[in-house]
Amino acid sequence: MSADENSDEVEVATIEAVTRTWEEALANHDADALLACYAVDATLESPVAAHILGGRGVCRGHEELRPFLAEVVARTPDERQYHRAGFFTDGHRATWEYPRQTPDGEQMDFVEVMEIEDGLIQAHRVYWGWRGVAILAEDSYHR
């Protein structure tokens, strides 16, 4: 195995560890563990940020992420599930889909994109599918 191949495997393993830790923290409604996945100056962009906080849907840094993530874990609707089939990475960015249709029925549909450096999320963008948008329209995040 070449040094480049070994380096690529380490990068993929690091990215997989970060995405798995983030996903477990979200599923466990653990805002502190979620926040720990992000760099201090990270950005997050998502329609649910605009829905919950108002404004443009962008959180910058731990000071803005902390209250947002606390609201997300407190309000996560039951339709938010975590079925996915892996992710794609270039060694710095991870991208994956939570498809609407799963083996167990429907879930909220998203595409997640995370830029990861030094084992922390630097930038996180969430693109919502039509089922996820319907959940927002039904105001399910305001239980």
In this model, does residue 7 exceed pLDDT 70?
no
3-state secondary structure the chain: CCHHHHHHHHHHHHHHHHHHHHHHHHHCCCHHHHHCCEEEEEEEECHHHHHHHCCCCEEEHHHHHHHHHHHHHHHCCCCCCCCCCCCEECCCEEEEEECCEECCEECCCEEEEEEEECCEEEEEEEEECHHHHHHHHCCCCCC
pTM confidence score: 0.88
Domain-located, residue 142:
no
Residues 9-22 have pLDDT tens digits of 768 889 999 999 99
Residues 42-100 have pLDDT tens digits of 999 999 998 888 888 999 999 999 999 999 999 887 788 888 988 899 889 999 999 99
At 134, the pLDDT band (50, 70, 90 cuts) reads confident
Domain-located, residue 19:
yes
| Domain CATH number, residue 61 | 3.10.450.50
Domain-located, residue 75:
yes
Give residue 40's domain range: 3-137
- pLDDT for 82: 84
Domain-located, residue 143:
no
- Total number of domains in the chain: 1
